[in-house]
Chains A and B, each alone.
Chain A
Amino acid sequence: MPVGIRTQELCKTYNSAPPLGTAGGFVARADAKGSKQPKNQIPALDGLSLEVQPGEIFGLLGPNGAGKSTTVGVLTTRVRPTSGVAWIGEHDVWKEPTKVKHLIGVVPQRPNLDFSLTAREILVFHGAYFGIASRVRNERADGLLEKFKLTERGNQMVRGFSGGMMQRLSIARAMMHDPQVLFLDEPSAGLDPQTRILLWEIIREYHQAGKTVLLTTHNMEEADALCQRLAIVDHGHRIALGTPAELKATIPGGFVLRLRFGNQTPELLKKLEGLSGVREVRPAEPAGVDVYADRGGSLISEIANLAVGSGAELSDVHISEPSLENLFLHHTGRSLRD
């Protein structure tokens, strides 16, 4: 039976640097400088509530340091929350961690493979940790090596593997005990496009078998292509939730024109708002404007004319089509890559 995921008001404050692999906090630390908090208190999660339906592919989208990895850490028994509750299915993660560990498979942001073992041994021992019978775990290991195109390297130590191979093996290992819930923390970071497509296919296939998948990403394309629902997180809380299509529909107009001027006047902003198809005009730092509109390129000539008319020198134009990236920009005023 498919298993869901739920969190309620999760908070996590690290007392020192967060553990490796959980990026949450490193960015927040810079923000915390000069604030009232003691130096080594690093807030990573600030009241995050989520509900992932059984059998859903759910995405956590946000920039580095948003708290995505910390959320995964809390849900996978690796990071103890400062407050709040997390459930996998019926089980409170921090009251019944062993039961939860049976249900979940985890692909960390950075491969944490057992360097003392060969690729095949990693899978077989992982199966043994989960009490899988010898014959079954050997068969399953061979099947997964085949699926992830690692059969030829199966009997080699993983120390010499490339990043992509390690990542593939990490995913194979997480699937070894056929978990009901699969966590993937930035699964396609560092993968070449072919491997990324292979990974997406495997995730979809796993989902079709009735499993729940939670993945974190800051890759819009990936979130858009894979996830049924998304939560956008920033500074440890949720800023938007919905299907990719729903979320994109909330961006006024859909298109974003990021304009930069040599010198801009309030009068110019007013005029921009008056153009047909423009839904919202927001000043952006430094000396620029983000124009949300329901058309893109066709606005440029009008904008250029306005700029000339008010003596503002248009120095840069960037047009983006409706995307989750724009959604993030709309909610935070920052680009995901900032």
Chain B
Amino acid sequence: MNWKTFGAMLARDAHVARRNAIQLVLQTFLQPLLFVFVFGKVMVSSGFLPEAYKSLLLPGIISISMVFTGIWAVAMPLIAEFQWTREIEDRLLAPISVGWIAIEKVIAGMIQALIAGLVVIPMAWLVLGRGVQISLGSPGTFALIILLIATFSACGGLALGCTINQQHIGLMFGMVITPMIFFGCTYYPWSALKTFPILQKAVLINPLVYASEGMRATLAPQFSHLPVAAVLGALLFFDILLLVVGLQQFEKKAVS
């Protein structure tokens, strides 16, 4: 393992992220904040939704911001760099084994996902105003869960980015991302699906469900949520699965 090379690649990704900072901030925070404003502010203050919805929404918003930041941060550059410009080749030719280049991308994605999660909390809170009941009962569990979420998002980005071609990005959004968001228990708790028993079971294949429920379990435990152990187990499972698939796909793309 060549730490100098690994560090230089991380520095390169940080440099590029700094250069695109404004674009990244808009891309990461605009949509969740608009959502928070419409549902948490407009709908609540006009009486269509109860005040408590604010506290239910915030954990979901954190998880969705983290997950999509991580996926986006890893998948989009990879899709572009493996295209015909083959931009990634200068790193594939760096003195480090190919798998570590993929790991570097995952670490860079995790860092971005963690920043997104931690920044969106105060921003959303600010938009929601008074009446948010969030508590941090168990900081250790919270830290573990956001770490697992960040890993899942970055590994998911790796797997998607090395599987999908540029011409299929639209399809990826339609077929993967959109259903994931709507059936990800971000805007409602998993228990709300109990009137749709088949759907309630089916959404359990969606890793975003565990991210949202995990956030809810640690930040707003007053709402019913999946057990923490189930959340941790499922997130760990998806982390490993997506990492293994992602590394395989990366190797396949990198070496012909």
Contact = CB atoms under 8 A, between A and B. Distances in A.
Interface of A: 14, 18-22, 73, 76-80, 97-99, 101-102, 104, 106, 108, 110, 112-117, 121-122, 125-126, 128-131, 173
Contacts of A104: 93
Leading 7 A-B pairs by shortest Cβ distance? A128-B8, A129-B94, A131-B4, A112-B86, A19-B256, A112-B89, A116-B16
B16 A117 contact: yes
B93 A125 contact: no
B9 interface: yes
Tell me the interface secondary structure of chain A in the complex: loop
Given A116-B87, A129-B95, 19 more contacts: A19-B86, A73-B256, A79-B256, A98-B2, A108-B89, A112-B88, A112-B89, A113-B85, A114-B12, A116-B16, A117-B12, A121-B15, A125-B12, A125-B15, A126-B94, A129-B9, A129-B90, A130-B5, A131-B4
B103 interface: no
A73 B87 CA distance: 16
Contacts of A99: 95
Contacts of A101: 93-96
16 contacts: A19-B256, A20-B86, A99-B95, A101-B93, A101-B95, A104-B93, A112-B88, A113-B85, A114-B90, A117-B16, A121-B15, A122-B90, A125-B8, A128-B8, A129-B95, A130-B94
A21 B15 CA distance: 28
Given A77-B255, A78-B255, A108 B97 contact: no
A80 B90 contact: no
Interface in B10-29: 11-12, 15-16, 19
B256 A112 contact: no
Contacts of B89: 78, 108, 112
Contact of A128 (B11, B16, B97): B11
B92 interface: yes
A79 B92 CA distance: 12
B169 to A, nearest CB: 17
A117 B81 CA distance: 13
B84 interface: yes
A136 to B, nearest CB: 13
B88 to A, nearest CB: 8
Given A14-B256, A78-B255, A98-B95, A112 B90 contact: yes
B95 A102 contact: yes
Given A19-B256, A78-B256, A80-B256, A131 B5 contact: yes
Contacts of B201: none
Contacts of B90: 112-114, 122, 125-126, 129, 173
Contact of A79 (B5, B84, B255): B255
Nearest to A105: B93
Contacts of A98: 2, 95-97
B256 A18 contact: yes
B168 interface: no
Interface in B47-105: 77, 84-98
A115 B90 CA distance: 11
A173 B15 CA distance: 19
Contacts of B94: 101, 126, 129-130
A112 B254 CA distance: 14
Nearest to A70: B256
Q: Which of A113, A116, A129 has the most CB of B within 10 A?
A: A129
Contacts of B88: 112
A189 to B, nearest CB: 16
A75 to B, nearest CB: 12
B20 to A, nearest CB: 8
Contacts of B92: 77-78
Nearest to B19: A116
Contacts of A128: 4, 8, 11-12
A99 B2 CA distance: 11
Contact of A97 (B4, B97, B256): B97
Nearest to B84: A20
B97 A115 contact: no
Contact of B2 (A78, A113, A131): A131
A128 B11 CA distance: 9
